[in-house]
Structure 1
Amino acid sequence: MLSKTNSILNLKDENFSIICNNCLGGFIYQHYNIEYRTPTLGLFFLARDYVKFLSDIKFYLSKQLEFINPKESIYYDDFKNSELSMDFPIAKLYDIEIFFMHYKNEEEVIEKWTRRIDKINWKNLIIVFAENETCNLDIIKQFDALPFSNKICFTRDDHPDIKSSCFIEEMKDPKRLWDVETIMKHFDITEFIDNRSN
């Protein structure tokens, strides 16, 4: 399991791309006040789709987004009984779905998604997974097995046998799923970024 220490704001190198399953990646960029170099901002993947996306990321990013009606989502039944309103763009990317929660319309999604794909630094990827309600231990293990040198999975339960996991007890509260300040109390994100493998 990865070590946890205090953090400072100075980074040795700001030219990296965070791929994340939810808003946490964007909030990390904002925390350091640096340029976004990733398309995975202001959106979320459900856990199973995120791991599938990561398993062949260049393949998926080569595909076109296909926008769908919320009722066409394979997750519609899960969401219709939740507090989450599905009044934001939803798109299929080949065989997975992406929920563009913080986008006004499809045009904004396409413009920002396309522009930010071009900014990805493939030599400096940081892969982040924040456990959510659709996650389970098997998916966390699948994430841990992915062939990325720089990956971290923030979990709501302790998994000392899973190398890429970091236990954040506060994540038991769903509102803390992407709270950088809370994570910083447990995990040194600056050290993790600065000591990444290239």
Structure 2
Amino acid sequence: MIETIKKKLKPYVFAWKYRNQRKALKNKRFTIISDNCWGGRIYQELGLPYQSPFIGLFIYSPDYVKLLANPKHYLSGELPLVFVEESRYRSKDGITYPVALLEDIEIHFLHYADEEEARSKWSRRLARMNWDNLYFKMNDNDQATYQLLKDFQDLPYQAKVIFSSKNYTDLEDLVFFENRSEQGFVGEDLKIYHPYFDVVEWLNKGGDQV
């Protein structure tokens, strides 16, 4: 009951809490491609509809970087989601949500009740993507390594950011989360980015065309 009330109140709380960010945002038709649920959090904070299929899910870093090397292929809408019983990355016992392959990319639909919901929302949000205004975010967890972060850094996109618990000074798009340095990875707490990263400033600069 309490969780239901919180869920209903959340849009109103966000509207008040992030009112200044919403007012400052000039660029409102953008697609965030994120390796976890962070993009969905940003659309919620800014009071915008989801304009990306990367909502309520996560992708392990090796697959995520591979997908970004050829996004037009993987996100064309022509590849079907094939749901699977096992993951390459974790034990079957630890999975309580749908997992699908997009060709050879494994997608973990963490916040979806079943395959039907995952497939339906993926397809609907895929159609909303703005290919002329793309933004990319990567975390340093989910089997991320320095080399994978560097591979992400080397992708031919300008509007990209790395959230990391380690201060790799040679990665110019990296944002160092000092409060996660002892933990060793940034993790899944989606709201902790605020002291380190101005998302509205980032979005207002303009995204990539692919």
Question: Shorter-chain TM-score category?
Answer: 0.7 to 0.9
Distance 1:15 1:88, change over 3 A: same
Q: Which residue of 2 aligns with 1:25?
A: 39
Q: Which residue of 2 aligns with 1:66?
A: 82
Q: Which residue of 2 aligns with 1:122?
A: 131
- Alignment partners' CA distance in 2, 1:169 and 1:66: 39
Task: Specify the code of the residue in structure 1 equivalent to 2:115.
Answer: E
Moved more, 180-189 or 85-94: 180-189
Task: Specify the code of the residue in structure 2 equivalent to 1:32.
Answer: L
Q: Contact (CA 8 Å) 1:26, 1:36: kept in 2 or not? A: yes
Gaps of 5+ in 2: 1-19
- Alignment partners' CA distance in 2, 1:174 and 1:124: 32
Q: Which residue of 1 aligns with 2:120?
A: 111
Q: Which residue of 2 aligns with 1:185?
A: 195
- Alignment partners' CA distance in 2, 1:93 and 1:20: 16
Task: Specify the code of the residue in structure 2 equivalent to 1:109.
Answer: A
Distance 1:159 1:193, change over 3 A: same
Q: Contact (CA 8 Å) 1:149, 1:196: kept in 2 or not? A: no
Question: Secondary structure of the equivalent of 1:67?
Answer: strand
Question: Secondary structure of the equivalent of 1:123?
Answer: coil
- Alignment partners' CA distance in 1, 2:109 and 2:191: 24
Q: Does 1:75 align with 2:89?
A: yes
Task: Specify the code of the residue in structure 1 equivalent to 2:84.
Answer: I
Q: Does 1:51 align with 2:61?
A: no
Larger RCO: Structure 1 or Structure 2 (Cα < 8 Å, ≥ 6 residues apart)? 1
Distance 1:175 1:132, change over 3 A: closer
Aligned length in residues: 184
Q: Does 1:141 align with 2:150?
A: yes
Q: Does 1:160 align with 2:169?
A: yes
CA RMSD of aligned residues (A): 1.9
Shift of residue 178, structure 1, vs aligned partner: 4.1
After TM superposition, the score normalised by the length of structure 2 is 0.82
